[in-house]
Structure formats: C-alpha cells, structure tokens
Amino acid sequence: MSDVLAGQVTASAAEIYEEFFVPALFGEWAGRVADAARVGLGDVVLDVGCGTGVLARELAARCGPDGAVTGLDRNEAMLEVARARAPAISWRRGMAEDLPFADDGFDAAASQFALMFYEDRVAALSQMRRVVRPGGRIAVAVWGPLEAAPGYAAMVALLGELFGSDVAEGLSAPYVLGDRDTLRDLFARAGYGDVEIELRPGRARFPSLDDWIFTDIRGWTLSDLIDDERYRRLVAAATPRLAHFVAADGSVEFDHPALIASAVSG
C-alpha cells in the first residue's frame, strides 16, 4: 500500500493536520468514540492509530490521574506533534497489525479514522481484541460513504478531472470502509461476536474555501502529489466549482457522517 493510500503524512503536513484537520473534521468525534468505548475513571486505554492525539487526549481526560492512555501510530511525524501537545500521555511507534503489548493489558481500545489505512485490517482488529481484557470494550470509527459527504465527493471528482485518478484516490481513500456490511465482515473475520455499528451524523467545517483546499492538500498525503503550479490550478477551478458549499460569511460546511463500531472483547 502506498503512503498516499496508507495515510502517511510528512512532518509539515502533520502540523497542518493538527491545526486545521482536527477542528474541521476530527474534534467532534473524540467524545463519541470515547463514549462507545465506555471509558471511565481509572481505566487503562489504548488509542490505535492515534495520529496527532485528538482521541488520546479525550481518553486521558476521562481516565483521570488514576488511569493511563497509550497512543500508538506508525507515523513518527504524527507522534512528534502528539508528544508536544500532551507529553503526559505515553506515545509509542508501532504497527496496528502487530501491537507491541501483552495480552489483556488494557481495559479498552479505541481507534478513530485509522482502520481504513491499515494494510491488514483484520489483523489490526484481532490485535485490538487480543490486548483488551475479556469484557473490555473496543470502539472503532471510520468515515461513512463518500456520497454521504457531498463536499468531498465534489472535491474528489474535481481532483480526478484535473490530475487523474491517482490523485483523486488519495482523497477518496478515507471512505473505503463506509459500507456497514463491509465493516461488520471485517469484525467477524477478526473473531468478534456481536458488533454494534451505527451511522452517526457529522459536519465538516472550514473557515473558508481557501482553508478547505489548503487543509486537504497541504495537511494530507496529497501534499507530495500536488506542487505549487497544480495547487494554483486547483484553487482556480475550485472557486466556481465548489462555490455552492460556501456560506454568505465565506465559511464552508457540509454533511460528513461516520460509522462507529463497538464490541466487547472476549
């Protein structure tokens, strides 16, 4: 799997990711995923594919001083930003498909918008079940179907027209698990029993169209595929093409739902 499809960003993109993507897309979901994992005071919790740490920070607030949170990610650039934001959390570099932890070592495990990028998704889910004690909770969030996120459906189409399918695929990759049956099948193949899967409404919010484009391109894996000349072409084409997503005050907002799957380990 290429770095583009695996969601692997550079150091500069990781900083942009935290500053722009987290408030635009990810911030509203951390509490929902923590709820699904039923994390409470004193719990020992693992955040798999933690990125820059938005979910891990929420989990730490719920665990309190008597609990502990570990955030794991394969991308060192993401982890560097996470460490700077929350040095009290334990940050580990590693692969979700081969978690470097003992069996039954956590009360819960959670993963927010990372499963789509794993090379072996079944192995990653199996590993989460292995490291969570029997009766503990596992919660995983993935983005819903691309067609339910009209802003991104339009942006993907525009990228394809301007730069071809390889570039467009880099932005559509986060939506590959947006089908409920596909997600349920992954959990079943990983050995889970009953799995609750709920499509939850959400919103994408950007201060402006320029901020939206900057965040998607410079804060994501597309940064290496779109040089300055291509970037100017995209801005010029997007200004009329995506104008219907821009409100009177210049801000951008559109539907952006996600699936949250939760299960009991055992």
Q: Per residue, what are the HEC states of 190-249? A: CCCCCEEEEEECCEEEECCHHHHHHHHHHCCHHHHCCCHHHHHHHHHHHHHHCHHHECCC
CA-based max dimension of the chain: 54
Closest CA relative to residue 51, chosen from 129, 134, 127, 112: 112
Instruction: Check whether 61 has a pLDDT greater than 70.
Output: yes
Question: How many CB atoms sit inside 10 A of residue 120's CB?
Answer: 14
- Asked if residues 182 and 115 have their Cβ atoms less than 8 Å apart, the reply is no
Q: How far is CA 155 from the centre of its chain?
A: 18
Cα 28 to Cα 120: distance, rounded to the nearest angstrom:
27
Q: Which CATH superfamily is domain 11-145+175-204+255-264 in?
A: Vaccinia Virus protein VP39 (3.40.50.150)
Average pLDDT (38-59) is 97
Confidence of residue 12 (pLDDT cuts 50, 70, 90): low
pLDDT at 184: 97
Alpha-carbon distance values, 82 to 73, 155, 197, 213, 218 (Å): 10, 28, 28, 24, 18
Are 230 and 173 in contact, with CB atoms under 8 Å apart? no
The residue whose two tokens read 């093409």 is 241
- pLDDT above 70 for 176: yes
For the chain, the average pLDDT equals 93
Neighbours of 152 (CB within 10 A): 23
- Is residue 257 predicted with pLDDT exceeding 50? yes
- Closest by CA position to 200, among listed 113, 96, 71: 113
pTM of the shown model: 0.91
Q: How far is CA 47 from CA 57, 70, 87, 116, in A?
A: 10, 6, 15, 15
Q: What is the pLDDT of residues 226-245, one digit of tens each?
A: 999 999 999 999 999 999 99
Q: How would you class 199 by CB atoms within 10 Å of its CB: exposed for 0-12, middle for 13-18, buried for 19 or more?
A: middle
